[in-house]
Chain A
């Protein structure tokens, strides 16, 4: 029984070690989640803050790219 049943931690660890390979995900969002999990800071508030940060940074980059293009 012990050999085949995965503990909750094993399920979570396996998930986080493989999420970058899931097709179609946004790399930066996934990296952010992996980092929070690794630092034991995966909370709802932290995720929200990080997502907002990623959004602002993406918008700045988009504006800069567009400015550079011109």
Chain B
């Protein structure tokens, strides 16, 4: 199991200059304000192991997050890189990215590649935003996530394959209506042979009986013998009549086959119609169903951190992100049930359509028979066409969407009576034709023999085909049963042991609280594994799900316990993990116990624990230091100007991308937010005064307030006042009035926004030096020359 000796990061995310940590396999507690490079460390690790950064891989930042990986102030000649040295030197590697986003890895050995591949599925990083993801996920998402972690995704895929094929074969057998079709052939045999023939022996006996009056020398003992008999008694003179009889026979069989399933089709269509109309009677449900995709997309936006802050991306109202996701889960769960109802109706329609299609094809085939060109069959042809039209209508009704009106079953009834009557008409036509040559016994026997022989061949083919499909069906059914037994056994063992660890970690962090016996429970529906839920005893009563009864802090504890249990269960290659700001919503007592949990139960692991909360850092410093941890404060980095605030870099990337793509969507707002963030820094460096606010709301300074404050401060420098031209910026639409929210109806063209961005950049570059990457600052005031400057004096202004 691998630990880290040394890590070095340069030019990645918010780290421009080198961040070097000599860990020597020890755990470390790192404190740093937001924007000092903590999360850059986590992002760099994620990139090193997974080659992408999930929370940056959204539509705005392409290339699996690589576009936003390089520090934007890095010169074109320099590479951004992360260099990791492990206790196993053969794994040491430097991964770098150049200006064209080309990636280079120094270690190309198979040993290292295998290590990276194995590490890809391990639990190495937990960020605050991912903490509650599993806990508040839906039951299906929980199942999928767990299956993914324990490598059961492949198991689930094979299970689906077996089930799908079993279902498909079963449906094929049903829609092929083997029973009905075989029964039609047997009816023909019975009619002509005077008995059924399910075997060769029965057939031969019947044929010998039938041909007795002809006193032939051939005794039928095989099907070849029957062919020989047919050949012997055939007469070219009667071939036309014989063809006509055969044609009528084929028509009769086609109609009889439809008659066999007509009553089932009528009932199935009627059931479909009732269920379909049932859904249509509740238009609200249908409307909601159409919302499902939107809600799912909304949830994806929140869970992928496209929206980072606590507000609703649609209405822009402030709201806890966790709460939003929980509410979306409840709504999508309800709609999934409705979707399931709809899917079941669709499935019903699909099956029925398949059965009808087969009959429709038979009708189309017989209607193409040349015999129908004869005018005497016109009436019969008309009737067949009428049934074909009904079959067509049924298919098109079954294809309709929920907002369409569908025809009443009465309008599309396949009349069994009418079909029976047609069967009888064609049968009597055959009889009539045969009787026309009644005096010719040879001919009568010949026609009966031909019809029997054809019907028996078709019967055997259908029987063989059905038998093959039934064997396949039984096989897949047995395989599926065996497979789910194995899967469930393994999953249950895993869940039970995994639950034990989660329970242990949770109760360590929450002793003497009435939450006990936490379990992950598989959920089944119709004997199918459909999800996983978490239950626990709360004041001795079993409760589920956690989010209904537990506070956010307790849900976080549960999420953390889940991650730690995953680390113990599945990390086989790495003996370290990173916890990035995971204690944000924990109260004081939980925080201390959390630190104890790490030092006591994960003492053998190397932990990189990052926090932006000074209180937590101070609270647990002595506890972890006594256990040999290192302590590090990232604050120096910001003060010396080495760190670049992450948020600013992200927004700038986004603005540049949108300008390049000519995409005005949200661009004005991005420029406003970017300006706010930069002006906060400018105001800080110039000591521009703004009204007092406490820590939380201090972060929410708006652009007009900051621009006013800085403009006021620029009275000290006429030169800078002119160059910065703040009044021009203040007059831009996105900075006018109270544009705190995103409901500003300002609609600018891409050309307008391009010009605005140029002006904003020009203003910012009057305060920020691209050479030394520092803002001009009152701290760098030269009282002798009465000048204010940046770090390298590239920017220098009079200041009085």
Interface residues of A, Cβ cutoff 8 Å to B:
1-2, 4-9, 11-12, 14-15, 18-19, 22-26, 29-30, 33, 42-44, 47-48, 51, 54-55, 58-59, 62-63, 66-67, 69-70
Contacts and interface: CB of A to CB of B under 8 A. Distances in A.
Interface in B147-196: 147, 150-155, 158, 161, 164-165, 168-169
A25 B166 CA distance: 13
The 4 closest A-B pairs by CB, nearest first: A70-B222, A8-B151, A8-B152, A62-B464
A33 B480 CA distance: 13
A24 B472 CA distance: 11
Given A25-B475, A30-B479, A47-B161, 4 more contacts: A1-B568, A8-B151, A22-B479, A70-B200
A30 B475 contact: yes
A12 B490 CA distance: 11
Kindly name the residue among A1, A2, A9, A69 whose own CB sees the greatest number of chain B CB atoms within 10 A. Answer: A1
A25 B474 contact: yes
B315 interface: no
Contacts of B169: 51
A25 B690 CA distance: 80
B460 A11 contact: no
Contact of A14 (B165, B471, B486): B486
A59 B461 contact: yes
Contacts of A51: 165, 169, 472
A66 B472 CA distance: 22
Contact of B479 (A6, A19, A59, A63): A19
A48 B166 CA distance: 11
A47 B479 CA distance: 14
Given A7-B151, A9-B154, A25-B474, A1 B497 contact: yes
30 contacts: A1-B497, A8-B147, A8-B150, A8-B154, A8-B155, A9-B151, A11-B486, A11-B487, A12-B154, A14-B486, A15-B483, A15-B486, A25-B475, A26-B475, A42-B161, A43-B161, A44-B164, A47-B165, A48-B168, A55-B465, A55-B468, A58-B468, A59-B461, A59-B464, A62-B464, A63-B464, A66-B223, A70-B200, A70-B222, A70-B223
Contacts of B161: 42-44, 47
B490 A29 contact: no
Given A11-B490, A12-B154, A62-B464, A5 B497 contact: yes
Contact of A42 (B152, B158, B464): B158
Contacts of B472: 26, 29, 51, 54-55
B597 interface: no
A57 B717 CA distance: 93
A48 B493 CA distance: 34
B493 A29 contact: no
Contacts of A25: 474-475, 478-479
A5 B151 CA distance: 11
B49 interface: no
Interface of B: 147, 150-155, 158, 161, 164-165, 168-169, 200, 222-225, 460-461, 464-465, 468-469, 471-472, 474-476, 478-479, 482-483, 486-487, 490, 493-494, 497-498, 501, 568-569, 572
B502 to A, nearest CB: 12
A22 to B, nearest CB: 5
A59 B493 CA distance: 45
Kindly name the residue among B464, B493, B494 whose own CB sees the greatest number of chain A CB atoms within 10 A. Answer: B464
B670 to A, nearest CB: 43
Nearest to B565: A1
A5 B483 CA distance: 17
A1 B565 CA distance: 11
Contacts of B151: 7-9
A7 B222 contact: no
A7 B479 CA distance: 20
Q: Is the interface of B mostly helix, strand, loop or mixed?
A: helix
A30 B472 CA distance: 9
Nearest to A65: B464
Given A1-B569, A7-B151, A8-B151, A58 B464 contact: yes
B460 to A, nearest CB: 7
Contacts of A14: 486
Nearest to A36: B161
Contacts of A19: 479, 482
Contacts of B476: 29
B222 A59 contact: no
Contacts of A47: 161, 165
A44 B498 CA distance: 33
A59 B468 contact: yes
A70 B200 CA distance: 9
Given A6-B490, A8-B152, A59-B468, A44 B479 contact: no
A54 B486 CA distance: 27
A7 B568 contact: no
A7 B200 contact: no
Contacts of B158: 12, 15, 42
A29 B477 CA distance: 12
Kindly name the residue among A6, A23, A43, A69 whose own CB sees the greatest number of chain B CB atoms within 10 A. Answer: A6
A5 B569 contact: yes
Given A44-B161, A44-B165, A69-B200, A11 B155 contact: yes
Contact of A66 (B150, B460, B474): B460
Nearest to B491: A11
Kindly name the residue among B150, B471, B482, B487 whose own CB sees the greatest number of chain A CB atoms within 10 A. Answer: B471
A5 B490 contact: yes
A62 to B, nearest CB: 4
A54 B483 CA distance: 23
A5 B565 CA distance: 14
Nearest to A66: B460
A47 B572 CA distance: 35
Contacts of B479: 19, 22, 25, 30, 33
Kindly name the residue among B472, B494, B569 whose own CB sees the greatest number of chain A CB atoms within 10 A. Answer: B472
Nearest to A57: B468
Contacts of A43: 161
A25 B223 CA distance: 32
B569 A12 contact: no
Contacts of B223: 66-67, 70
A25 B147 CA distance: 28
Contacts of A69: 200, 222
A31 B158 CA distance: 16
Contact of B224 (A6, A29, A30, A70): A70
Contacts of B490: 5-6, 11
A25 B470 CA distance: 11
Given A4-B497, A44-B164, A69-B222, A29 B471 contact: yes
Contacts of A12: 154-155, 158
Kindly name the residue among A9, A11, A22, A47 whose own CB sees the greatest number of chain B CB atoms within 10 A. Answer: A11
Kindly name the residue among A8, A9, A30, A43 whose own CB sees the greatest number of chain B CB atoms within 10 A. Answer: A8
Contacts of B469: 55
A5 B738 CA distance: 59
Nearest to B153: A8
Contacts of B475: 24-26, 29-30
Contacts of A55: 465, 468-469, 472
Nearest to A43: B161
